[in-house]
Homo-oligomer: A and B are copies of this chain.
Amino acid sequence: MIRRMSRARERGIPDATVARLPLYLRALNGLSERSTATVSSEDLALAAGVNSAKLRKDLSHLGSYGTRGVGYDVQYLIYQISRELGLTQDWAVAIVGVGNLGRALANYGGFVSRGFRVAALLDADTAVVGEHLVGMAVDHIDQLEEVINQRGVSIVVIATPASAAQQVADRVIAAGITSILNFAPVVLNVPDGVDVRKVDLSTELQILAFHEQRKAERETGSPMMADDWAEAMDA
C-alpha cells in the first residue's frame, strides 16, 4: 500500500519560533477559556503581541494546521503546539536552592498546570531541610544524585547563590541531567549537549536602564558627557 506521510514533517524548527510557541499557547488557552472555536492568524497574533505573518510562518513550521478562508481550530492548535513542545508528557523538575526565589518558584502556579511537576526540593541549609513546601519535604543537597535518579527528574532549576551554582550544575550534569534553568547570576560552564537557559533579573534591569537613559537623553538633548574618567572614578 502506497501511503504517503500525511505531512512531510520538517525537523529543525528555528529557535526563534520555538521561543514563541509558549506565547501562542498561552494566547490560545485564553481563547479556549472564552470558548472560541476558531481564530485567524490576525487575531491570534494580536493576542500574542506579534505580527501575523510571523505567526503564520511560525505555525507553518509545525505543519499545515490551518484552514484557508477560516483560520485555526483553537483546540487542535493547542494540542499540536503542546505536542511539539513536549507538554503532552509531564516533566519532573527539581528545584535546587530553597531561599526566597526557590520558594517563589515552588509556589508558582503556572508551573504545575502545563506539563511540569515539582518532584524535588533541595537545599544545603540544614535549617531548611525537612521543611514542607507545596506538600513536599526539602531534601538535603547531599541526596542530589539519588533524588534525581529515583524521581526521574529531567529538568533542574538552579536557584542557589551564585557561588554554589557551578558546583550544582557539575553534579546534576554528572547525574545525567541535560536541561538546566539557571537563576544564579553566573555563566555556567557546561559540556556540549547540555542546554542551559538563564533568567537574570539584573541583566533585564540593566537593559531597561539603557533604554530609559536613551529616552532621557533624547528629551533633554544632553548626552550626559561625563567623559572625564578620572573624576568619575573618584565616586
Binding site for B on A (CB under 8 A): 6, 9, 18-19, 21-23, 25-27, 47-49, 75-76, 79, 83-89, 91, 93, 99-101, 103-105, 107-108, 110-111, 113-116, 154-155, 178-181, 185-187, 189, 193, 195, 197, 199-213, 215, 223, 226-227, 229, 232-233, 235
Contact = CB atoms under 8 A, between A and B. Distances in A.
Contacts of A180: 208
A154 B206 contact: no
A89 B87 CA distance: 44
Contact of A86 (B115, B155, B212): B212
A181 B208 contact: yes
A105 B105 CA distance: 12
B110 A185 contact: yes
A25 B206 contact: yes
Interface residues of chain A: helix, strand, loop or mixed (majority)? helix
B47 A205 contact: no
8 contacts: A6-B227, A21-B206, A21-B210, A85-B209, A86-B213, A115-B206, A197-B204, A199-B199
A187 B47 contact: yes
Nearest to A91: B209
A215 B179 CA distance: 10
A211 B179 contact: yes
Contact of A209 (B100, B115, B201): B115
Contact of A212 (B22, B26, B100, B154): B154
A22 B104 contact: no
A29 B213 CA distance: 22
B110 A202 contact: yes
A123 B102 CA distance: 21
A200 to B, nearest CB: 8
Given A100-B100, A110-B202, A202-B22, A85 B210 contact: yes
A179 B212 contact: yes
B187 A48 contact: yes
The 9 tightest CB contacts between A and B, nearest first, are: A86-B213, A100-B104, A22-B203, A101-B104, A22-B206, A86-B209, A49-B187, A179-B208, A110-B202
